[in-house]
């Protein structure tokens, strides 16, 4: 399983929210690039970069942060937040993103999202499947749709999606453990899926639990920033 640290950006700074609530924001670093370099030095290969300003504005806002990280590290960055148009998508790839995550757009404009899949392929376009009570949540989790999580993922897997980042919003930022049973259920429904689990990781044993069920990657956010999991532990996990 790949360790994928998360850097969430508001006003160019590294922050974390709790359950997607912008009113519950905590700043951790002024320079996301320095944070990214620490991950790189620990042997980590991938980074999950989220433009929270972009998610709210429905357009990319923090493109410069993406560009700096991609220029000054060798990390493979998957980028999300505010990618609502083909112009945004092209800008993210031009800035150096290895993959781009589309969540709200996949729910609201499936025709456009499918066109991205057809052009760029399932290795570069990640489906973001964020869920509240097993229903798809969109617009930075500010809205919950009537779309069933499993049906949403299964239908896109049939259309060529290979990677899915799934966040259980109820777990995010609470440090109470990930939704292991939900992820296991998703993998049973779509066995070949490269599932990236996000939300709730609070300890090294949580990472082991996710690895045991066969997810492709585990996103680590608040647990690292709140020192529940150390950089050394992440490095140990990467080394196996």
Q: Distance between CA 168 and CA 73 in Å, rounded? A: 30
Three-class secondary structure of residue 13 per DSSP: strand
Of residues 8, 53, 78, 172, which has the active-site annotation?
A: 8
**Token pair belonging to 70:** 């991609």
Say if CB 60 and CB 83 are below 8 A apart: yes
Of residues 53, 88, 130, 168, which has the active-site annotation?
A: 130
The string over 220-236, giving b where at least 16 C-beta atoms fall within 10 Å of a residue's C-beta and e elsewhere, is bbbbbbeebbebebbee
Query: Does 133 participate in catalysis according to the annotation?
Result: no
Query: Does 130 participate in catalysis according to the annotation?
Result: yes
Say if CB 168 and CB 182 are below 8 A apart: yes
Q: Distance between CA 151 and CA 181 in Å, rounded? A: 17
Residue found by looking up tokens 């992440």 in the block: 234
- Residues catalogued as catalytic: 8, 130
């Amino acid at each position: 399983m790949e360790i994928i640290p998360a850097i969430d950006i508001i006003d160019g700074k590294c922050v974390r929210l709790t359950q997607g609530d912008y009113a519950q924001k905590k700043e951790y670093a002024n320079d996301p690039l320095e944070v990214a370099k620490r991950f790189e030095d620990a042997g980590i290969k991938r980074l999950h970069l989220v433009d929270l300003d972009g998610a709210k504005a429905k357009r990319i806002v923090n493109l410069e942060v993406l560009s700096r990280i991609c220029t000054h590290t060798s990390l493979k960055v998957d980028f999300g937040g505010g990618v609502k148009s083909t112009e945004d998508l092209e800008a993210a790839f031009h800035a150096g993103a290895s993959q781009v995550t589309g969540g709200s757009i996949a729910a609201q404009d499936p025709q456009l999202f499918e066109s991205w899949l057809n052009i760029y392929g399932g290795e570069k376009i990640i489906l973001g499947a964020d869920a509240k009570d097993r229903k798809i949540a969109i617009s930075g989790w500010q809205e919950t749709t009537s779309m069933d999580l499993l049906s949403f993922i299964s239908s896109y897997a049939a259309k060529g999606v290979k990677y899915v980042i799934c966040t259980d919003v109820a777990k995010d930022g609470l440090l109470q453990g990930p939704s292991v049973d939900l992820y296991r259920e998703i993998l049973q429904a779509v066995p070949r899926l490269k599932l990236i689990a996000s939300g709730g990781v609070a300890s090294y044993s949580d990472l082991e639990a996710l690895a045991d069920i066969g997810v492709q990657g585990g996103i680590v956010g608040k647990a690292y920033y709140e020192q529940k999991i150390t950089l050394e532990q992440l490095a140990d996990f990467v080394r196996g």
